[in-house]
Amino acid sequence: VEILVEMVDNQAKANIHSAESRKFIAPLGLTVFVWIFLMNFMDMLPVDGLPVLWQVVTGDSHAYLRVVPTADLSTTLGLAFAVLLLRFWYSVKIKGAGGWAHELVSAPFGTSKNPIFALILAVVNVLMQIIEYVANTVSHGMRLFGNMYAGELVFMLIALMGGAAALSLSGVLLPVGHVIAGTIWTLFHILVITLQAFIFMMLALIYLGQAHNAH
């Protein structure tokens, strides 16, 4: 726990230069990392475990249950959108509404003393800023979703190997392959779920750090 807290604190100091902001953002980063890691780690549970339990609880033999929250776009894009709202909040808090508005119309291509050119550049700058915010947010959520969704599918495909043995006499070795492939993928996937939680946290810190910096 101490190593984890120190790691997040160091990353927060590297990206957020305001000590006042770090009082909120550093604990937030730690919460995001642990929360996403635990949601990702649900992929380690048996594929049929929670769905069968859900069917018992609801009494519906056809009850539908997706176990891994981060393998659903609703979760990952929701988290990414929350980071976007925080970026807006800190942009206004640090730079003021006027300062942030000026940044939106003057970055990245600057402005001009000529009123016509200044208006054209302002429109282009605003469009570029919108594209940047949208692209950052969508990629932030899609990256986590894509990796976890793919991992979930691989676990399901491996699980089918055991079930396929019942369909033919030649498939008697499939359960053995199921155990071997499932073990290998589980060990590899532990690295994936940890890395994806770390990447999401780091991007959140980087984006919030950018909200503190002037263009």
What is the average pLDDT value for the chain, to the nearest integer?
90
- Residue 143 designated active-site: yes
Q: Map residue 214 onto helix, strand or coil.
A: coil
Choose the weakest-confidence range: 112-116, 124-128, 178-182: 178-182
Residue 99 pLDDT greater than 70, yes or no: yes
Q: Tell me which of 143, 168, 170, 213 is the catalytic residue.
A: 143
What does the block give as tokens for 158? 């491996």
pLDDT for the residue numbered 15? 93
Q: Tell me which of 74, 139, 168, 213 is the catalytic residue.
A: 139
Model confidence pLDDT, tens digit, residues 38-84? 999 998 888 778 888 888 888 887 777 778 999 999 999 999 999 99
Distance CA 12, CA 21 (A): 10
Distance CA 10, CA 5 (A): 9
Q: Tell me which of 21, 40, 125, 147 is the catalytic residue.
A: 147
Model confidence pLDDT, tens digit, residues 74-89? 999 999 999 999 999 9
- Residue 139 designated active-site: yes
- Residue 147 designated active-site: yes
On whether the CB atoms of residues 68 and 179 are closer than 8 A, the answer is no
Q: Map residue 138 onto helix, strand or coil.
A: helix
The string over 136-172, giving b where at least 16 C-beta atoms fall within 10 Å of a residue's C-beta and e elsewhere, is: bbeebbebbbebbbebbebbeebbebbeebeeeeeee
At residue 131, φ and ψ (nearest 5 deg) are -60, -40
pTM of the model: 0.88
